[in-house]
Amino acid sequence: MEKAIKPGIYTDLPEEDYHADFALGSSGAKKLIFGCPSRYEYDRRNPKPAEGAMAFGKMAHKVVLEGTAFLEGLAVKPADMTFARKAGKAWRAEMEEAGREIIKEEDADKLLRLAQKIEADPLAHSLLSEGMPELSIFWDCPRFGIPKKARIDLCRADGLLVDLKTCTSAHPDEVQRAIWNYGYFVQAAWYMSAYRQQWPDAPEPRFVFVFIESEPPHPITCVQLDPATQAWGEALGVKASEIYRRCSDAGIWPDYVDDIVQISLPVFGERKLQERHDAGAFEIAAEFQRPLELEETL
């Protein structure tokens, strides 16, 4: 197993160094569970820079957790500037040479408004206003004998762990879908496990997500997972740890399957076909119906 950072708590570890370490984190655990080992292994050896919504989300974390002074270090691209022209190309080259991250003027404005919204929201502000931001924890898992890591957005003295999520919609129904689609419940359980490992005598940690929409007026929804959801997250974290250990020991990171797979129609597709059949669509008398009629109903 490749490991660079020693077990411990780090309050000022650069994000790039955290992600470069090969210890198993929550993002990797989710890839092992919902993806496959070969995808996880390839991605950790060939990291891609954040783009689009992910890049905006990373900057939102910086603005909220470190303060709006973070924006002063960015290179804000004027709305009327284009990189297709000589002046724009020269400006971009100058900013890149100076090591300054380039951001669109409209995105910089959104980041400022987003931070102001959290500042003005009593609940979100109270959750994010104090504690240790971007706390990195590295530990050796005693159960599986593998290195693990976690990077908590905000760790408070009272054991409350807070994670900020930018999103398209903060409506509770959409948040519920995101928690499943992106495996956020696995992340929550993983971070609480990291906390328990470092502070075994402390009270049981609690975890809260603060979801905020990327677009104005930046609606906010604060979420705590119920016990059953947390338990599922813990169970999947254990499963990911076992997969990681076996693959690391064998030096083999397999794909999804290693044999021919028999695939059935999805439930909704079979239901639609049955409904059409029951309606008589497949009777001989219906053989002259348009071929696409069935497809359009699926």
Pairwise pLDDT comparison (103 vs 254), residue with the higher score = 254
Specify burial of residue 267 (Cβ count, 10 A radius: 0-12, 13-18, 19+).
Answer: exposed
Asked if pLDDT for residue 47 goes beyond 70, the answer is yes
Sequential DSSP letters for 39-103 = HHHHHHHS-----HHHHHHHHHHHHHHH-GGGGGGSEEEPTT--TTSHHHHHHHHHHHHTTPPEE
Tell me the C-alpha distance between 163 and 207, whole Å. Answer: 8
What's residue 40's pLDDT? 96
Annotated domain spans of the chain? 8-48+121-250, 267-297
Phi–psi pair at 73, nearest 5 degrees: -85, -5
- Collapsing DSSP to helix, strand or coil, 264 comes out as coil
Q: What's the pLDDT score for residue 44?
A: 92
Question: Percent of the chain scored above 70 by pLDDT?
Answer: 94
Banded pLDDT at 278 (limits 50, 70, 90) = confident
pLDDT at 120: 96
- Grade residue 296 by pLDDT with cuts at 50, 70 and 90: low
The predicted pLDDT at position 85 comes to: 85
Please tell me what DSSP assigns to residue 215: S
The string of pLDDT tens digits covering residues 216-249 is 999 999 999 999 999 999 999 999 999 999 999 9
When comparing pLDDT for 158 and 52, which is higher?
A: 158
pLDDT at 197 over 70: yes
pLDDT at 3: 56
pTM of the entire predicted model = 0.84
Taking Cα atoms as reference points, which of 148, 149, 185 lies closest to residue 165? 185
Q: Does residue 140 surpass a pLDDT of 70?
A: yes
- Kindly report whether the peptide bond that precedes residue 49 is cis, defined as omega within 30 degrees of 0: no
pLDDT at residue number 290: 54
CATH architecture of the domain 8-48+121-250 equals Alpha-Beta Complex (3.90)
